[in-house]
Structures are given as C-alpha cells and as structure tokens.
Amino acid sequence: MSQSLTRQQIYDRIKASSKDSYILEEMKRLGFWQETSTPSLPEQLIQKEAVLQQELQELLAKDRKYGNQEAMLREMRKKRMQEAKAKREVTKQKNEQKLQDKADHWKTLQQQQIIYLGENVSKGLHKTDSDTEKLLQFSLPVFENILDFSQKSGYSLSVIKYLAFHRRVSKKSHYHVFEISKKSGGKRKISAPKSQLKGFQQWILDNILNKILVGEVVHGFTAKKSIVTNAEPHLGKDIIINIDLQDFFPSISYKRVKGLFVKLGYSEQLATIFALACTHAHTEEALLDGVKYFVHKGDRFLPQGSPASPAISNSIAYKLDKRLQGLALKLGFVYTRYADDLTFSTNDDNEQNINKLLYFVKQIIKDENFTVHPDKLHIMRRKNQQKVTGIVVNEKLNVERNKLRKFRALLHNIEVNGWQNQTWGKAFHLINAIEGYINFINMVNPSKALIFREKLNMIIAKHGKPIVETGKEIPEKVEIIEVSEVKEEIIAPKEDKTDWWNIF
C-alpha cells in the first residue's frame, strides 16, 4: 500500500503540472481511469493543459527572476552610490586633513626653519649640517641650525628672513646709497646699511669675523694695525712699488662670501644667510604709478659701507696675501697690504728682480680673481718722495710737506675769514674732513697734531662750527675705506693663533 502524500506534497505536484493532471494521474493509479493505446480527447486536453501550465510556471519563474535581477541591480547601484559617496566624504576629509597638516607643517617650518630666501639663492637652505670639529678648532661659535642661531643671536627668524631675503625688485631697501668723490677723480658709490641690517652685520663681525686671524702682512682693519704700521716696514727703502686692486669690494661676489663661511665650517644654510646679509647688488630706483621700486642690476657683491665688508675682504684675500708674501720673500722684497693697496719695497741691489716681481704679482692677482688697477701702479725711488698709504717714508715716517702747508694755510684762512667758501679736497663736511686729517697727522706725528687741534678749537671758539650744507648729508656712522686718511675702527685683539691658510 502506497504511502499517503502530505498536503504540501500534493500542493507541489499540482503546482508542477495542474489540478486536472494530478487528478487524472491519481485516477489512473487507483484504477478509476481505463488506459488505452490512444489517449482519449479529455486525457489529451488534460495533458496539454499540464504542459502549458508547466511552461507558464517556467515563464512566471523567469519573469520573477528578471524582476528580481532589476531590483537587485537597482539595489546594487544604490548601495554602490552610497559607498562611493561615503568614500568621497572620507577622501574629502583626508584631503582636508592633509591640507591642514601641510599648513601646520609649513607653520612649524616657518617657526623653526628658513627654507626659501629668493630665486637662485635658496638651493642649499635644507643643508643644515655644520663642520663642528672645524668650528671648534678655530674657536668659532657653533649653531645646530638656523633656529639655534636665532636663539643665540637674539634675532627672530622673521627678522633674519627679512634682512637676508633676495629680491630683484622691492619696495624697500636695506641701504642708503650715495656717492662720494674719489681723490683720484670720479665717484665712489657707498652702500651704507640701515640700522637694523647694520646691527645684524655687526653681530656677524663681532662674533664670527673678528675671530678669524688675518696674515701678518695685513694692516687694514685689523687689531693693533694702522696705516702707520703698514708704512713702517718700507721705511728707508730705495725702491717702493705701489699696486692698487681695482673695484676691490665689488670684485668679491656673493658666491665668494658664501664660500668663505662654508670653508670656515658653517652649514650651507647658515653660510647662505650670512652671505646674503653681508652682500648687496647695484640698485636703481624706478617710479611706477607713483610707487618707488628698488631694482637690482647684476649680481650681489660686498658693499662698501658695511661694517662686515673689511673683515670679509681680509679673509677672502688671505690666500692672495700668502702667495704674494711668499713671492716677495723669494725675490727679496717686503710686502704689506692695506685694504686694496699693495706695497712692495726693496733696495737698489735687488732692482733686477722688479720686472719678475711685477709679472708674477699680476698673475697671482688674476688667479685669485682680483684685478690690478691699470692707472695705479707706481714705482717710487728714494731720490723722489716715497709714500705708503699717504705717509712719507723716505727717511722717517712723516706727513706730506706740501699738503701739510696747504692744511696750515686753510686753518689760517678760516681763522681770519670764517668757514664760508672754505674747502678741503672734495669733502662733504669741512669740519669732519679737518678733524679726520688731524687724526691722520696724530698717527704719524702726535706733537704736530696737538698744535693743529688747538688751532681748530680756537677757530670753533671764534666762529662756531660750520653749517652742514643741505643735500650733502651722509648717513651717520658709515665706515668708508680711504687708505690714506682713515680713522680705523678698533677691533678686539685676536687670541686664536691658528694658521687659517689650511682652510683655503
């Protein structure tokens, strides 16, 4: 006996074919329907209906399947859009955070580093490693980086960047630029730093440059040396040769100044900053729409007027001095240098070496990237007046007699007629020029200087001081190199006796 079907099984069979087909099959199974070789018409109809019903079910199933797929696709698209939107939001937040982190990092860098100082000068600012061993060896201050330098020097990073920034065109200038007349004719351009930059240059001078030991042949702008000590070695010599270097400061470029600080042991970052602060470029003023602009012409160089320039020039000329001193000793000459004024002296029995000396001196000067002034090479013999940096050295150190006579006459004229229409050379300020010349005389002959100083005091008591002519004012405290009549700035004595030849 066959097992009875459950309600669900009966439903599934009817669903798979049709109700009539199920009944027909059950009737045949139970013997209520007589089967023949040829199905009767009702049986055929039922079977056909079952086939159609099955096909219909398959079509409905496919329809449901495709409908579900479209819904599923719509759902998938919706889900993907939601995921993409969420991803975009996350990406947006990440990008915003990156921008914020970048801004914070930039702000931190600005507070701790200087990474840009202008076009073509910022390449090495990321190199912060100094040669500590060399710096300590030469008793120079050590700075880990620009932030360390800022803290030790007292200058903020913003001020350092402002003073050192290199601009081809700017609305501001760190220099007073003016011209003074040269004794030999023409004009000398002076670039005197304004107070803030001058203070920074003075810090570099006091804490770094003044610690550099210059050669013994150097007498300009160094401790316990003067135009007098420069003249003394040549006293009583038969032959004196004077050679001037042309455009001494302008020939010392920014790259040479930066190279000096690197050779001393400072990182490229610090060397760049020091060199930018101590150099300048020729500047022209341009007026555009009522606004004044300062336009740089050419490359940066050592300005005449900076307190740091003389010390830098002495250090850069160190190798030049060593080579010229060696040449002079070999050929039987005495050599000294005061700024751009080179002096060689010897006696008559060594005259045959003069041409050889001059040939090699010119070669060495050229090799060291300097230039001999074509109009300032003089050979002075003992039968004529011999002068070294303005001091007569024939028999004893003395002031030029003719000039002394003219100076005495000037003071007499002022005493009789007053200050009006009186001149001394091409000086802007007559009283400053007179005081400067008395100081010069004092270096050579203090007793004569005392007489002239008393005379000047009498003139001032009688006529007062002259009124400074408007438009000829020179900025205060400007150091100008004039090798013959200069009151030198006193520089602290150097205790470090290291031979700096080794660093060049």
In tens, the pLDDT along 254-306 reads 999 999 999 999 999 999 999 999 999 998 889 888 899 999 999 999 999 99
pLDDT at position 497: 37
Residue scoring higher pLDDT (489 or 407): 407
487 has pLDDT over 80: no
> Higher confidence at residue 138 or residue 183?
138
Decide if pLDDT at 104 tops 70. Answer: yes
Q: Rounded to an integer, what distance in angstroms lies between the CA atom of residue 257 and that of residue 243? A: 24
Which residues does 134 contact at the CB level (< 8 Å), separation at least 6?
A: 264, 265, 503
Q: Exposure string (b/e) for 434-455, b if CB count within 10 Å is 16 or more? A: bebbbebbbbbbeebbeebbeb
CA angle 449, 454, 458 (to 5 degrees): 145
Distances in Å between the Cα of 314 and the Cα atoms of 222, 341, 487 are 9, 12, 18
Closest by CA position to 191, among listed 267, 294, 38:
294
Residue 342 pLDDT exceeds 90: yes
Phi, psi of 168 (to 5 degrees): -70, -35
- DSSP H stretches of helix in 336-481: 354-367, 401-417, 430-444, 446-463
**What's residue 51's pLDDT?**
77
pLDDT of residue 3: 61
Return the pLDDT at 192.
Answer: 92
pLDDT value at 428 more than 80: no
Per-residue pLDDT at 246: 93
**Residue 469 has what pLDDT?**
54
DSSP 396: S
Averaged pLDDT for residues 454-483: 67
Contact by Cβ (8 Å): 124, 114:
no
Q: What percent of the chain has pLDDT over 90?
A: 60
| The pLDDT value given to residue 500 | 41
CA 482 to centroid of chain Cα atoms: 29
pLDDT for res 58: 76
Tokens representing 111 are 């507070």
pLDDT confidence band for 38 (50 / 70 / 90): low
Question: pLDDT: is 472 or 363 the higher one?
Answer: 363
Among residues 400, 477, 487, 483, the alpha carbon closest in space to that of 443 is found at 487
* Residue 35: per-residue pLDDT: 66
What's the pLDDT score for residue 484?
36
Q: Which residue has the higher pLDDT, 107 or 170?
A: 170
Structural contact between residues 433 and 426, judged by C-beta atoms closer than 8 angstroms: no
pLDDT at residue 481 is higher than 70: no
Q: Phi/psi at 190 (nearest 5 deg)?
A: -110, 130
Q: What is the separation of C-alpha 46 from the centre of its chain, rounded to a whole number of angstroms?
A: 104
Is the distance from CB of 166 to CB of 117 less than 8 angstroms?
Answer: yes
Q: Is the pLDDT of residue 121 over 80?
A: yes
pLDDT at 488: 34
Instruction: Say whether pLDDT at 234 is over 90.
Output: yes
pLDDT score of 349 more than 90: yes
DSSP assignment of 132-148 equals HHHHHHTTPPP-SSHHH
State whether the Cα torsion 133-134-137-143 is positive or negative: negative
Per-residue pLDDT at 491 exceeds 50: no
Grade residue 467 by pLDDT with cuts at 50, 70 and 90: confident
Average pLDDT over residues 457-461: 93
Least confident span in 339-343, 466-470, 485-489: 485-489
Q: What is the CA radius of gyration of the chain?
A: 48
Residue 379: helix, strand or coil by DSSP? strand
Structure tokens at 312: 């830098």
**Mean pLDDT of all residues belonging to the chain:** 85
**For residue 41, pLDDT beyond 90:** no
pLDDT digit string, tens, across residues 175-221: 998 887 776 666 778 889 999 999 999 999 999 999 998 889 999 99
Region 390-415: what's the mean pLDDT?
A: 93
Mean of pLDDT values over 14-26: 72
E strands, 110-237, where?
169-170, 175-181, 187-193
Cβ atoms within 10 Å of 28's Cβ, excluding its own: 13
Q: pLDDT tens digits, residue range 49-79?
A: 777 777 777 777 777 767 676 777 777 788 8
